[in-house]
Structure formats: C-alpha cells, structure tokens
Amino acid sequence: MSTRTIKVDYIARVEGEGAMRIEINDGKLTDVKLKIFEPPRFFEALLRGRDYTEAPDITARICGICPVAYLMGAVHAMEMICSVKIPKPIRDLRRLIYCGEWIESHILHMAMLHVPDFLGYPDAIAMAKDHPDVVKKALKIKKIGNGIMTLIGGREVHPINVRVGGFYKTPTKRQLESLVEDLKWGLDASLDMVRVVSGLKFQDFEHDYEYACLRHPDEYPFNEGRLISNKGIDVPISEYDDVLVEEHVEHSTALHSYVKGRGPGHVGPLARYSMNFDKLTPLAKEAAHEAGLAETCYNPFKSIIVRGVEVVLAFEEALRIVDDYEEPDHPYENVEPRAGTGYGCTEAPRGICYHRYTIDDAGTIQDAKIVSPTAVNQKAIEKDLWHFVEANLDLPDEELQWECEQAIRNYDPCISCSAHFLNLEVKRT
Amino acid sequence: MIGVGNVYRSDDGVGIVVAQRLGEQSRNLHIDEASGEGASLMAMWTPSDHVVIIDAVRSGSSPGRIHRLDAYKAPIPSEFFNYSTHAFSVAEAVEMSRALGTLPKRLVIYGIEGKSFAAGSELSKEVSSVLEQVIDQVSADLSASADENRVTQSDSQEVPHA
C-alpha cells in the first residue's frame, strides 16, 4: 500500500495558526483536515459579568484586521436590546468606517497574501521586486483605508471611537471632505487593481455552494439586513441560531458551523456578490463585467476579483457618504439598559460575523455568543480541498500542496478570529 | 525619527516616549508617531531620508535590553516585532521597502525589550531605567547621520547634477 501525506504544519499568509493535512491511500483521497490549533481565547466567557457598554471594545480585540466587524456586531445587538434608533448620520458613519475596513482588509489580502499564489512567489516581498507598481498601488490604497479608520475610529488599528448608541466623537463635514481627494484616487486605483487581478490565470473549479449573507432592500449589505442563502434561508438575524449551528470537531479549536440539516455554508465576498449583484453601484457592476464575472460567481479562486469589485464599491460608497454627510446634533444616542437578548450580524470582509448577547436590567452581560466568518467557512474550505485534491491527484506533492494552500487562501481565513482557529499535510499511501 | 507603539499599553509606549523627548530636545528633527501598521509606516519615509525607528520588542531577552538593528547590515527579523494584522508590521514594512527600492538611505531600528504590555500608561521600572541611555544612543546616531548628511551635501555641491 502506498500512502501520500501532504502536510503543511503552519499555513502562511493567513491570520492565526492552523495546519492542513491531506491523506491519499493507493491513489484514493481518504482524509482532508484543516486543523486549527490557535489556542482558544474564551471571549464569550470573559464577557459574562462585564457591562453591556464594554462589549464593543472587548470583542474588537478578537481581530486586528476586522475590529469594525466586532464593534458593529456588538453595538447593534445592544441597541436592539435597548430599542435605540440610530439617526442617519451615525448610521452613515458606521457604513463609512466599515468601508475603511473592507478597503484595508481586502487590498491587503489581494495584493500581499493572495496574488503571490497566482504568480508563483513565496510572499509579497519577493513579488514586489518584479511587480513594484502593483505593490506600491496596493499599499497606497491600504493607507487610504487606514485614513478612513483613523478619522472615524480614532486610530488605524483597533479603533476606539465606537460606542453603543453611536460614536464618542463625530467628525466635522470639513474633516470628512479632507478624505475626498484620496478617495477619488483610490476609486481609480481600485478599478486598476480589478483589471490586474482579472488577468491572472484561474483554476477551472466551481462548486455548488450554499452562499449565506445579509440582504438589505436598498443597499449592498454592511451592517443590516436579513440573513439569506441561495438554498432557501431567509430569516431575520434574530433567527440565526435556528439556521446556522455549531459543532465541535477534534482537529480544530474553532467550532465548525454548518447550515442546519444541510451542511457547509459559504460566507464572504463570493456569497455577498452573488446574492447582491443588483445592489452594487453601476461602476462596480461595470468593473465586474469588464473583469469577466457574471452576476454570480462559484469559482472560489475568483474571489480575488470579487474582493477588488468590493473595494471599488467601498470607495464609491465612501464618496457618497462624505457627500451626503450632515453633522449630527449629538455623537451618540443615550442608551438605557434593560433586560433582554439582542442580535448583531454584519458583513465583515470575510463574511457575516454574528453576535448574540443577553443582559440584565443593570446592563450586565449574562451570556454571549460570537461566530466569526472563518468559523462558518471551515467546512467549506475542507470541502473545497476534498473536491480539488480529488480532481488533481496526479499532481506532484509539491504542486498539489501549493494549489491547496492557494485554495485555503481563497477564503482569506482569519484563524485568530475563528478560534473560538494553518500547517498543511498531505499523506499518500 | 519614528516612535512606534501605544502609550496606553505600558512598555509598548517606549518608542513614542523617546520620540517625544527627542522632539523636545531638537528642533531639527522631524518626529512621527506610528501604530506600527506597515503601509502607513512605509509612507513616512523616502529614499533620501535618514530614519531612526524606535519600538518596543518582546524577543525573550531581559526587559530593558536595547537592541540596535541597522537595516543595511541584515534583514529585520519579523519575530522581533510581535504584532500582526496579517503580519504586515515594522519588519515587513522595512523588507517590503527594501524590495521596492524605497528604503531610506540610512535606517536604524531600536528595539527596547519590554516587560509589561498590559493596559496602563506607565513604563516598567526596567524600561524607565534605560530611557536616558536610549535617548543618548539615538542622539549619537542622529548626529552621525547629520554629519554624514553634511558630507553628502557638500559632495553634491562639488559635483552638481548634470
């Protein structure tokens, strides 16, 4: 009997620590595991007994690249419990800071973490020597994202200006207008980036995913909407736990999520795009068409193009918000705690990020549940690897390993977030 | 001169503290404060600059130890600056800048071994006790840079660009 084991003990260019192991016996694929050994951090437990106003800043520390997703999930849940209505300028500023996070996160993943896979470089630094213009442009785009975060959030990493009810301090119209020149440059540059990544060579690989994301009647989803899927989910976010459930698997410190009664769900840019194409801005639609994308996309390798389209959208949305902005009378709404359970589900760059809290009359957190997008995508990643390896068993180990790592990075997995979650191992017998 | 860190995280603020102190002492110094995020950091320099970066590090040696790294002598070890937003921080910014040919013509990085990175605005005793030494060493580096600059400038005056 011959065994081939392909393993990566520590998957590079993803946030956090995980590994991959693939086992092939007598030419047949027998096991695929995405192992997550990032130590669990017990955020849900440490939130118990803390004040409801602390949840946004505590949970934002789950992730250095998508803190806004956690800030937003927490504030929306608490505001649901306390029946707070958020005025338009505050709602718009929340969308704007989310645009900043999408820009930062997407462009970093596209240019620094994922393009090297397509072009055959071990990392972005090696790639930068041969493709300096792409890297320089990406870095400048990222810096504009940082600028939005700094202005609205107080600093570029781990913003500290978001609170239940609104913001501690809101910017003046003039301050927002100072972003305009950069945003316009960023819009053009992001259109260029879409062109660049659409010219990459893509694996011929598609899968019939269950795409889950938010859907809002009037806009491309960031903060609000119903939870929907292309296989029949259509519920308010308060019914999330009825449709997406979690289980413990031995090889992962992150709980595995799946769609109740069906199997893996897939969240993130491909899901959002395929379920909300009609809500993209005309320019983003045009960029997608020019890049050769249809209105839905089931090839995970093409997620890099979809991220680019979402960066275009984020710049356009940011420009619209700056233009519409009227300074609010007060930076936040007053919030009085009361006993209850609330839900927050927003579109992090990697997909929906779910929060549920129960607080008592004094505002003390009794119970918390947080599900990161990567926790949901773990099963989809394993399934992709399974299908991909099965179709490519004749590839030599080294090549197979390279392609598998690329397949994992299609999801821009954030392992730190999910551990509540890469090394790659392929074993052939 | 770029101070990197977070003054609300105890010893992580040492880079900012040194930068501010040197800023008070010298009017000819351009001082920047940075979080350590790579893209923003790289945008702070050009190839014609002389740059000193000061940051707290956690490399496993004794608190208060002063590490001095010259970017032109060896690559900057990424495990030194333990901070990751998808691993694009001080070390990656310097190496990316080297790859892109945008590295300042002189780049020295001081890493001060921290003890406590907990919430709080006080430096630990170990780090406080080396503050003056760090400032003296950085000042010496800066005057060496200034001397080198004067030599370069006088060189370029003698040989004007065509």
Mean pLDDT of A144-161: 94
Q: Which comes out higher in pLDDT, residue A195 or B160?
A: A195
**Backbone CA torsion sign across B55, B59, B65, B71:** negative
Local structure of residue B78 (DSSP, 8 states): G
Nearest residue of A to residue B92 by CA position? A125
Nearest residue of A to residue B94 by CA position? A125
Cα of B100 to nearest chain A Cα, Å: 6
Asked casually if ipTM beats, i.e. exceeds, 0.85, the reply is no
A270 touches B at CB < 8 Å: no
What length is written for chain B?
162
Cα of B30 to nearest chain A Cα, Å: 21
CATH of region B2-158, choose from 3.40.640.10, 3.40.50.300, 3.40.50.1450, 3.50.50.60: 3.40.50.1450
In the numeric block, the tokens 């004094």 are attached to A362
Query: Tell me, what's the pLDDT at A327?
Result: 97
Percent of chain A past pLDDT 70, that is, above it, reads 94
Reported confidence tier of residue B155, pLDDT bands at 50, 70, 90:
very low
In this predicted structure, which of A138-142, B52-56, B84-88 has the lowest mean pLDDT?
B84-88
How do residues B118-128 score in pLDDT, each as one tens digit?
999 999 999 99
Mean pLDDT of B4-20: 93
Query: Tell me, what's the pLDDT at A32?
Result: 87
User: B residues 14-73 near A, CB within 8 Å?
Assistant: 35-40, 42-43
Query: Tell me, what's the pLDDT at B29?
Result: 87
Query: Tell me, what's the pLDDT at B133?
Result: 95
Question: Global pTM?
Answer: 0.90
A128 touches B at CB < 8 Å: yes
Percent of chain B past pLDDT 90, that is, above it, reads 59
Phi-psi region of A25 (alpha: psi -120 to 50; beta: other; left: phi over 0): beta
Reported confidence tier of residue A403, pLDDT bands at 50, 70, 90:
confident
Query: Tell me, what's the pLDDT at A421?
Result: 36
- What amino acid is encoded at B149 in this protein? N
Query: Tell me, what's the pLDDT at B156?
Result: 37
Q: Which comes out higher in pLDDT, residue B147 or B16?
A: B16
Mean pLDDT of A239-256: 86
**Residue A164: which domain range?**
3-428
How do residues B20-36 score in pLDDT, each as one tens digit?
999 998 878 899 999 88
B96 touches A at CB < 8 Å: yes
Mean pLDDT of B31-47: 90
Tokens of A138: 């990406």
Query: Tell me, what's the pLDDT at A423?
Result: 44
Mean pLDDT of A168-181: 98
Tokens of A264: 């893996």
Reported confidence tier of residue A274, pLDDT bands at 50, 70, 90:
very high
Reported confidence tier of residue A418, pLDDT bands at 50, 70, 90:
low
Query: Tell me, what's the pLDDT at B159?
Result: 36
Cross-chain Cβ contact B37/A129 below 8 Å: no
Mean pLDDT of A187-211: 96
Ordered by start, the domain boundaries in chain B are: 2-158
Q: What CATH number does the domain containing A264 carry?
A: 1.10.645.10
Reported confidence tier of residue A151, pLDDT bands at 50, 70, 90:
very high
Query: Tell me, what's the pLDDT at A422?
Result: 41
How do residues A105-128 score in pLDDT, each as one tens digit?
999 999 988 999 999 998 888 999
Smallest Cβ–Cβ distance between B86 and the set A108, A125, A136 belongs to A108
A64 touches B at CB < 8 Å: yes
How do residues B135-145 score in pLDDT, each as one tens digit?
999 988 888 87
Mean pLDDT of A118-146: 93
Query: Tell me, what's the pLDDT at B68?
Result: 93
A139 touches B at CB < 8 Å: yes
User: What residues of A are in contact with residue B87 (Cβ under 8 Å)?
Assistant: 13, 15
How do residues B95-113 score in pLDDT, each as one tens digit?
999 999 999 999 999 999 9
Query: Tell me, what's the pLDDT at B74?
Result: 85
Q: What is the mean pLDDT of chain B?
A: 85
Q: What is the mean pLDDT of chain A?
A: 91
